Structure 1
Amino acid sequence: MPDVDVRCSALVFCGSSVLLVRRTSPGDWSLPGGVPGPVEALEECARRELAEETGLASSGGRAVLVLDAVNRSVARRMLDIVFLFPDVDEPTARTLAPCEQGLRPQLVDLHQLETIRFRPPIAHRIAALHRLRDSVPEIIAEGFQPWDMAVDLGENPAPEHR
């Protein structure tokens, strides 16, 4: 069974643009995001990364897309869970500021996504989520206890849960 790495990303729209961060090296673009802490909720991670990488404080993110990548040669899997946050307006978008060295937040027109080095290459999915953003259901439920899950996580449940 491959090891699993989890990343949480934030998706924010402003009109017909999407908020991305550009890495100064190697010069590619991505959604703001990163790795959750050991006890950090997934939406909380996406919200924290959004603030750290763009200076934008937001709440109410909902999971709308799960990206799955497997590297069989090293037996690793990466899951990137994309959280859609409420749209921002132009005045708010003008307050974006680089908060992490090597990253530059910027609004990118949806029509330009196919022309930039966007990683992962999900421009068509971002455009579809923009069109459907008010009707996409949330796909993640959080807050379960380890003993509620189908996989044994080595937890000792309280007597009332045995």
Structure 2
Amino acid sequence: MHTDLWNFALKLYARPGVEAACLQWQDQGGDVCLLLCAAWLRERGRIPNEQRARALHAQARSWQAEVVKPLRSLRQQWRMASAHDAQLASLRDQVKGLELAAERVLLERLEAVSEGGEAESPSHADWLQWALPSGARLHHDALQKLRAVMLTTQDAEDGV
């Protein structure tokens, strides 16, 4: 198990089907960084805590609004034009790199907010439910996909 959120997120995101599920989650108004943080907390057996969940949401909301979303918006605005303009395509790639760097910073900040006094649970506590965006279906496909991937990952680590 990875100890830091960034490496956990990279490993999980690379698993088959997770990227598509996360992008679907994002398209429906969800925060992928919060979702990955919730998966990390679940994997670590951290007991869900409403106060911590609110702090994580607050941290993510401000960073997403002020940093990540403006970069993503600019990158998306340049999608069509960059297909026919090599210089713009290069700039778009740089913006994409900045967007990824901003998401890494957010994951580091979420990890810092996550650290603290709560005990670990012997079972995998379900942090994933608190990552739902308002108005989302309770059993969202991305949540189901992440749960399934995490179970197969845990089974592989346990030798099952």
Q: Same fold judged by TM-score > 0.5? A: no
Q: Which has the higher strand share?
A: 1
Q: Which has the higher helix share?
A: 2
Higher relative contact order (CA 8 A, sep 6+): 2
**TM bucket by the smaller chain?**
under 0.3
What is the TM-score of this pair, normalised by structure 1?
Answer: 0.27
